[in-house]
Structure 1
Amino acid sequence: MATGEDKPNGREAQRQETRQRVYTAAVAEFRRVGMAAADVSVIAREARVARGTFYFHFPTKEHILAEFERHEEARLAAQLEKFLARPHDLTGALTETVRLMVQMERRTGKTLFREMLALHFSPNRPEVLPGTDQWTDYPLMTLVVRAIALARDRGEAYQEADPLRTAQFFMLGLYAVLITSYDLSRAERAGIIDNFVATVFRSVEARHGAQPA
């Protein structure tokens, strides 16, 4: 049960409410024009705060985008975790991960999705939480690693398969496929994605107990 000490006082509650207004206005503007083209003055006006208040809560626009990415990843991870709790095979787990990523891409739009990925791999990416720079700090990656490890335990993947390296290959490849196939027809894109998932699975598939050449 929450106590009075658990609740923010009036000033802190107001600070959090203002920060949320700035964040919400910024995300809306990012969706509309992309992060790079977003005007801080417009964001401040929509949030009903002074321009300086934006920078009080967020040093840069990239800090908001990084936080938005973390929220989106947590949302995807929660959905993927529900899927993995049901009976599935590795191809199904990889396909579901792709489906969820495509959903996120559609929610954010082409420009913002690409900006999120660019920031994700940027050496100047701001940390949303101090010290979060390990793969275990990313819930979606953690779940994909777990799905591959479980597939190995079930005998779907060969015993020497490395779940982390395979997950890294899969996620990096998926990002590249989504970015480069965005403007293709739905059928063409689906074919490329299906081939990609099949390639990843074949790279770790157990073949009569022998490691693939």
Structure 2
Amino acid sequence: MPDFQRRMTGRDVQRLETRQRVFDAAIAEFKRKGAAEADVRVIVETAGVARGTFYFHFPTKEHVLSELEGQEDVRISGELQRFFDGSHDLPSVLSEIVRAVVAMEHRLGSLLFREVLAQHFSPTRPADDSWDKYLTIRTVVDELERARGAGQLFAEADPVAGAVFFMLGLYGILIVNHGPKVERAEILDKFVASTVRSLEKR
């Protein structure tokens, strides 16, 4: 057992269990009505806690969304690392990122997914919600740096800007485009191709 687990008291364990119940109840309510319309009263009743307990663990609904995205970020980053273990090039890397994010959309449902992504563009997002904290972004940056070092990108390509612009563009497309799957897939394919052309060494 890790040292930090041995040092946890019964109260610590109870606090973590309560926090998880509140989080799970909040996500269920967000999926049902969306974060903006979610009723905190329903969340705390479902979790079996007092109203103040919700705000103790999550000062705002945006903090719940941020935590959810953090969990999804860890999952996607792990998927990308496994993908990178095999043979790949820049187009396949960007296409894999698209696949992983679209899979996240399917897991969360379109309403909750859009709200998670939209918080990046919201002035009320948590103060610590910066791009450099996300493992997926850092993973993409590392991969672009590798591609640049291998001579696949033009010498002045900025891996950080490239990763952020790509993810922002991908999120924007997925937030606003609700057309047929075939049409949406074509738009995403064109987006990947355009991104590759903007970064690849000619």
Partner Cα separation in structure 2 for residue 48 and residue 204 of structure 1: 52
Q: Which residue of 2 aligns with 1:43?
A: 43
Deviations 1:143-198 (A, max 9, x none): 111111111122221122111111122111111111222x2111111111100000
Q: Which residue of 2 aligns with 1:210?
A: none
TM-score w.r.t. the length of structure 2 is: 0.92
Partner Cα separation in structure 1 for residue 74 and residue 123 of structure 2: 22
Which residue among 109, 131, 144 is the counterpart of 1:148?
A: 144
Bigger proportion of residues as helix = 2
> Is residue 2:92 matched to residue 1:96?
no
Q: Which residue of 2 aligns with 1:139?
A: 135
Partner Cα separation in structure 2 for residue 64 and residue 168 of structure 1: 23
> Is residue 2:194 matched to residue 1:202?
no
Q: 1:118 is paired with a residue of what secondary structure?
A: helix
Cα distance change of structure 1 residues 27 and 188 upon mapping to structure 2, 3 Å threshold: same
Q: Which residue of 1 aligns with 2:19?
A: 19
Q: Percent of aligned pairs with the same residue?
A: 51
Structure 1 alignment gaps of length 5 or more: 208-213
TM-score w.r.t. the length of structure 1 is: 0.88
Cα distance change of structure 1 residues 202 and 45 upon mapping to structure 2, 3 Å threshold: same
Give me the CA root mean square deviation.
Answer: 1.8
Cα distance change of structure 1 residues 116 and 201 upon mapping to structure 2, 3 Å threshold: same
Q: 2:87 is paired with a residue of what secondary structure?
A: coil
State the 1:88 CA deviation.
0.4
> Is residue 2:74 matched to residue 1:74?
yes
State the 1:115 CA deviation.
1.2
Deviations 1:3-31 (A, max 9, x none): 59734212222121111111111111111
Partner Cα separation in structure 2 for residue 9 and residue 154 of structure 1: 50
Deviations 1:64-114 (A, max 9, x none): 111111111111111111111211000000000000000111111222112
Q: 1:155 is paired with a residue of what secondary structure?
A: coil
> Is residue 2:182 matched to residue 1:187?
yes
- One-letter amino acid matched to 2:195: V
Partner Cα separation in structure 1 for residue 115 and residue 39 of structure 2: 16
Structure 2 alignment gaps of length 5 or more: none
Larger radius of gyration: 1
Paired residue total: 202
Which residue among 156, 159, 162 is the counterpart of 2:158?
A: 162
- One-letter amino acid matched to 2:146: L
